[in-house]
Structure 1
Amino acid sequence: MRFCFTLIIIISLGCKYSCSQSPNDDMARAQLLEIGKQVASNTQNNTVEQACIDESLTDKCIKYHNDQWYFFYTEEFTHLYINIQRQQCRDLLGVQLVVLEGELCAPDTYSIVDCVSLATQDDIYVELKELKAHNRYWLVVDGYLHDFCSFEIELAPEPKGFSAQQLNMLHNYQSVMEGSHVTLNWSIPDSVLVNSSSTLVYKRAKDVFRYSLLAEVPIKYNAFGTAQKQYSYTDSLKRPGYYYYRLVLQNNSGKKYYVAESSYRITESKDKILVPLDCKRDDQIVMEVRDEQGGEPIDIFKFYYSQAEHQPFVLFTETYKKKGIKYLEIKVANRDDDYVQTYYADLETGLVKKF
């Protein structure tokens, strides 16, 4: 009797570190993926079992280069999550996921269930809602375009991170840029509000691989207990660059849904100072900005030095001036040379002096 099963393929795009071939390089040595247990692996130096794939089924979604195989049993579960965490990749591309149904190593029996292109190295989950209980599934991880990643993968009853795919859960979403300020406006429908606790606002620069949490905007209620539908958040950009914003709805049980994204490029501002840096290429730099009162930093910038991008270091000052700040102390720490340089800046004149 021929055994029919569902085949799930995850395509990993990129690895940053040198890794040896994973032992589960082919289907005969597939590794058992137990529910609730994380498995660490990498995509480098693996090979492709050409007899078991058919790229025409997924069109442009996949390029196979180095497979590794897993299998798992659903036990009594029909609803599970694939959690991808701690990706360390050479490029930003992250992972893609394809779900196929058919017979083992028989591409002519495959039918595509899902294909997800992620383009991220954030911690994400992929939701599998209609699994068969007490059934076996195969899982294939594939390095894409000869890039390499190390990562952790987990099959679990609960999700970790935010959804891999953008979900259409908002009534309205708009973003506008005025000067160096970006304002995000969104409306949450009643059907979603009833189970929502907050909206998480994430941000990343173009050269940063992961999003960072910028703010949590909680659901607000009036005196009658009615939830507010309209929300807004404004961010001030303090450096030239290309920036991405992502909204993630969080429900009452902590599950996170990626629901909106915008991007903006800023090159200039009328209010700015120029900080000269004396560093070498790829030096690890931490820059702390304080007002004239000292104390805790009001801003921290971390980057790897590039002469083209950081010489001089351009810092927009409109936000500081609106707060009544007249002077800045800027402390630049070079982690590679164990060296610290302090600057003082007059925001009215734009004059920057070493101390």
Structure 2
Amino acid sequence: MFQRKNYRKPGISLLLWFCCIGFARAQVPNDHIAHRRVLKTEEAVWSNTTGCTVQRSCVDESLTGKCVEYHNDQWFEFTPATSGNYFVNISGQTCRDTRGVQLVVLTGKPCEPATYNIISCTSLASQDDIFVLLQALQSRQTYLLNVDGYLNDQCRFKIEVSTKPNGIPAAVTPVIPAGNFVQNGNVTLHWALPDSISATGFRILRREASQFKAVENGRKAVARDSYGKLLKDYSFSDTLTKPGSYLYQVVAFGTTNEVPVLIKQEWRTLRNVANAPIWYQLPLEKYPNKAELAISITDAATGKILQRVVFRKQKNKPEQGRLLVNNWLAGGIKTIRVEIQERKKEKIISGSNFLVDLDK
């Protein structure tokens, strides 16, 4: 007789084994500084920060200040054949979060932080294609490149050391200001072309704070007046249709041999009109019952009249002095001017005039 054999379905332990194999494969060899990847000029290679760990004895965060906190770094090295300027191009980022990667370039003996000299440190907050300019590199000098996921972001990316830039200049993203709201979604940017920059045009990029990458929102050509004199001042208008905070970047570009330059970075915010109403209560307590009140509300910044109303104060009706301010906030109005006049037989017998900060 044949013996019946018991076959079991793969259990949890087997599934965990497969997961571990997948994780191990995700970790790149150059996670370890001893296995750092050697880059050749104009050679673009793919890598990723997933599963990488930090060799704490090989890094020193005090050398880079607040620029970098190491979470999942990896190592490359580059030795230029000739002295000169080079660009580290990072492109094709696909990350778990918005933040992208950060880059440190240094000289020194591998895993001996006491010998390190920081050449460049770049922390981004997006997944844009960027380049970092490395000036006056020396031939036959080895440079170490450390790439880390910004705040432990898990990223796949392409890195290249080249004599030509690719993407936009790397720059620290400014903090979103408390103000700088736009009215009715209308945005106008102003900038000047510095005398030190040779350019033929400008790219205007826009990225909402939660988005991964910036998109080109328009272009402006460098212009001359009727006498052939180069114009210095430029502007660009845009309209925002969805609430959010938007980063605008203006990049000057020129011929093939000219390096793009970041001219301007500026946040603009379009507020969302909250579902719950936002009220401001006018101070009417000092006025007697049945007093005739004329109230005028204007935008303190522009003088535009927002609301006018005349009524007789009624006892136990505080809603008479309530102002709904949602739309004003959404339009970027920060401060209003309130003028209250008490009238009797069409004559003004008392009045007050004061400013109200809607942000507080």
TM-score band by shorter chain is: 0.5 to 0.7
Counterpart of 2:67 (choices 61, 70, 80) is: 61
Counterpart of 1:81 (choices 73, 87, 90) is: 87
Contact 1:176/1:182, CA 8 A, preserved across alignment:
no
Task: Provide the TM-score with structure 1 as the length reference.
Answer: 0.64
Counterpart of 2:206 (choices 197, 200, 203) is: 203
Change (3 A) 1:197 1:134: same
Q: After superposition, what is the alpha-carbon deviation per residue over 1:120-141, rounded to whole angstroms, capped at 9, x for unaligned? A: 2100000011211122222222
Change (3 A) 1:107 1:153: same
1:257 maps to: 261
Change (3 A) 1:242 1:166: closer
**Separation in structure 1 between the aligned mates of residue 196 and residue 84 of structure 2, nearest angstrom:** 25
Residue 243 of structure 2 is aligned to residue 240 of structure 1: yes
Residue 192 of structure 2 is aligned to residue 187 of structure 1: yes
2:151 alignment partner, SS class: coil
1:116 shift after superposition:
2.2
Residue 149 of structure 2 is aligned to residue 143 of structure 1: yes
2:32 maps to: 26
**Separation in structure 2 between the aligned mates of residue 140 and residue 115 of structure 1, nearest angstrom:** 9
Contact 1:43/1:68, CA 8 A, preserved across alignment:
yes
Q: Percent identity?
A: 38
Contact 1:101/1:113, CA 8 A, preserved across alignment:
yes
Counterpart of 1:217 (choices 216, 220, 233) is: 220
Determine which structure has the larger helix proportion and give its number.
2
1:104 shift after superposition:
2.6
Computed over aligned residues only, the root mean square deviation of the Cα atoms, in angstroms, reads: 2.4
1:101 shift after superposition:
3.0
Instruction: Name the amino acid aligned to 2:184.
Output: G
Counterpart of 2:111 (choices 105, 108, 121) is: 105
Contact 2:202/2:251, CA 8 A, preserved across alignment:
yes
Contact 2:124/2:150, CA 8 A, preserved across alignment:
no
1:129 alignment partner, SS class: strand
Change (3 A) 1:97 1:24: closer
2:114 alignment partner, SS class: helix
Change (3 A) 1:29 1:197: same
Contact 1:22/1:41, CA 8 A, preserved across alignment:
yes
**Separation in structure 2 between the aligned mates of residue 166 and residue 260 of structure 1, nearest angstrom:** 12
Contact 2:120/2:134, CA 8 A, preserved across alignment:
no
Contiguous gaps of at least 5 residues in structure 2: 1-22, 174-179, 274-360
Residue 45 of structure 2 is aligned to residue 35 of structure 1: no
**Separation in structure 2 between the aligned mates of residue 188 and residue 89 of structure 1, nearest angstrom:** 34
2:26 alignment partner, SS class: coil
2:89 alignment partner, SS class: strand
The answer to which structure, 1 or 2, has the higher relative contact order (CA under 8 A, 6+ apart) is: 1
Change (3 A) 1:72 1:114: closer
2:183 maps to: 178
1:56 alignment partner, SS class: helix
Give the number of the structure whose alpha-carbon radius of gyration is greater: 2
Residue 167 of structure 2 is aligned to residue 164 of structure 1: no
1:59 shift after superposition:
2.8
Deviating beyond 4 angstroms after TM superposition, the runs of 4 or more aligned structure 1 residues are: none
Instruction: Name the amino acid aligned to 2:269.
Output: R
**Separation in structure 1 between the aligned mates of residue 129 and residue 25 of structure 2, nearest angstrom:** 21
Change (3 A) 1:28 1:209: same
1:304 maps to: none
**Separation in structure 1 between the aligned mates of residue 122 and residue 74 of structure 2, nearest angstrom:** 18
Contiguous gaps of at least 5 residues in structure 1: 1-16, 168-174, 270-355
**Separation in structure 1 between the aligned mates of residue 101 and residue 221 of structure 2, nearest angstrom:** 30
**Separation in structure 2 between the aligned mates of residue 66 and residue 108 of structure 1, nearest angstrom:** 21
**Separation in structure 2 between the aligned mates of residue 113 and residue 137 of structure 1, nearest angstrom:** 9
1:113 shift after superposition:
3.0
1:112 alignment partner, SS class: strand
Q: After superposition, what is the alpha-carbon deviation per residue over 1:203-250, rounded to whole angstroms, capped at 9, x for unaligned? A: 122221111101110011123221111111110112222222111111
Instruction: Name the amino acid aligned to 1:262.
Output: E
Instruction: Name the amino acid aligned to 1:201.
Output: I
Change (3 A) 1:110 1:28: closer
Counterpart of 1:227 (choices 223, 230, 234) is: 230
2:262 alignment partner, SS class: strand
